[in-house]
Amino acid sequence: MPNGFGYVTKGVGGLYTVRLLPHDAADIPKPYEPQPLDGQTVSARARNFRRGDGLLVGDFAEVTYDASSYTVRGGVATPAPDGAGIAIVRVLPRRSALIRPPMANLDLLFVTVAAAAPAPDLETVDKLLCIAVHNKIAPVVVVNKCDLDPAAAERIAAIYRAAGFPVFCTVGATGEGVPALADYVAEAVPRRLAAFAGASGVGKSTLLGRLFPSLEFATGDISRRISRGKNTTRHVELCPLSNAPDSGYLADTPGFTMLDFDRFDFFGLDDLPAAFPEFSPYIGSCRYSDCTHTKEDDCAVRAAVCAGKIPPSRHETYCSLYAVLKKKPRWK
Ligand SMILES: Nc1nc2c(ncn2[C@@H]2O[C@H](COP(=O)(O)OP(=O)(O)O)[C@@H](O)[C@H]2O)c(=O)[nH]1
Ligand SMILES: [Mg+2]
Ligand SMILES: [Zn+2]
């Protein structure tokens, strides 16, 4: 049976979209013979997955199909639009897998926050950054809507610069600051998977639209103009940056507030200190070897906070996550 390999770019109601690589793409496991649908984007259903083995957008998958699943005209094969006869039969090992946003193989996460409207929620920013760091996904901070409160934008940017993250300040609405972000994306995203995440309304879709005018991202803006209800991002969808087989992918994600460490197993208590990279120079220099870095005397992390080397808001998030994770049953 013909087969093919590619990234799952979308999955809605059990129907997945897979962008099959051309037969000569480096990422296809060898040996591999050219197949009719190589290089095409197909709809497919998942088959033979054990229950609970959910597929994620970003998974690198193998599909198989039979001759009834495509039509040939003028030597070009066109896949069935409803995915009939095309099945995802295997997922290749993941580089990473996230619950929020629900994606596999992410390499970069652009954590987006607005200077105002919605009011900046730094705990959510910190949680997303922790999840990225823990999963070895390169974190980037984007402070958008800088026009609405330039002073707040500068305060937020200073916190994350001090913590050692790359930070970009933008105005999605006018494009201010977007070229520097575009340069970073052009440098970092090819051959990789990246996503924009952050609370609803911070301007993720607007920024993506600025970065890639040819791609379509649903923004809050458009909905009002065409006035047919809310037109916001509902699903994670990977957008290829070009038609090249080694093109990178960028995903818009729905805004979410469900970064509940109590409910979800993002990581355990033992993993918490390492999820704050700016703590690392101090860990090991505390008075007590089992220091929790929350309230002990002679804690080198707390001393660094007092000395202005670690932003206080970062340590506050650490302490609140510590309290939540401590109450959970031990991470297996
Ligand atoms: N003032 C201002 N408004 C913005 C900016 N960026 C986006 N917006 C607006 O904020 C609203 C939400 O944007 P959207 O991209 O849908 O946010 P998302 O939910 O994060 O994808 C829209 O009405 C945008 O026009 C900005 O930099 N400044
Ligand atoms: Mg959106
Ligand atoms: Zn300590």
For residue 145 and ligand 1, the question of a CB distance below 6 A is answered with: yes
Q: Which amino acid is at 202?
A: V
Locate the domains of the chain by residue range. 3-93, 98-252, 269-327
Tell the residue nearest (CA) to atom 14 of ligand 1.
203
Task: Tell the burial category of 290 from Cβ atoms under 10 Å away from its Cβ (0-12, 13-18, 19+).
Answer: exposed
Atom of ligand 1 nearest to the CA of 206: 15
CA–CA distance, 110 with 165 (Å, rounded to integer): 11
The rounded Å distance from CA 134 to ligand 3 centre is: 20
CA–CA distance, 254 with 300 (Å, rounded to integer): 38
Angle between helical axes of 204-211 and 178-188 (0-180°, round to 10): 70
Superfamily of the domain at 3-93 = Nucleic acid-binding proteins (2.40.50.140)
Atom of ligand 1 nearest to the CA of 174: 27
**What would the CATH number be for the domain defined by 269-327?**
1.10.40.50
3-state helix, strand, coil in the chain (%, to 5): 25, 25, 50
Atom of ligand 1 nearest to the CA of 221: 23
Contact yes or no for 266/96 (Cβ under 8 A): no
**What would the CATH number be for the domain defined by 98-252?**
3.40.50.300
Q: Which ligand is nearest to the CA of 293?
A: 3
pLDDT tens digit at each of 332 positions of the chain? 899 999 999 988 889 999 999 999 999 999 999 999 999 999 999 886 655 568 999 999 999 999 999 999 998 999 988 889 999 999 999 999 888 788 999 999 999 999 999 999 999 999 999 999 999 999 999 999 999 999 999 999 999 999 999 999 999 999 999 999 999 999 999 889 999 999 999 999 999 999 988 766 655 543 333 333 344 556 788 988 888 877 899 998 887 656 778 777 889 999 999 999 999 999 999 999 999 999 999 999 999 999 999 999 999 999 999 999 999 886 55
For residue 253 and ligand 1, the question of a CB distance below 6 A is answered with: no
Which residue's entry shows tokens 């992918």? Answer: 249
CA–CA distance, 144 with 200 (Å, rounded to integer): 12
For residue 148 and ligand 1, the question of a CB distance below 6 A is answered with: yes
Tell the residue nearest (CA) to atom 13 of ligand 1.
203
The rounded Å distance from CA 292 to ligand 3 centre is: 6
Query: CA torsion sign, 114 to 119 to 123 to 124?
Result: negative
For residue 181, what are the CA distances in angstroms to 177, 257, 312?
7, 25, 27
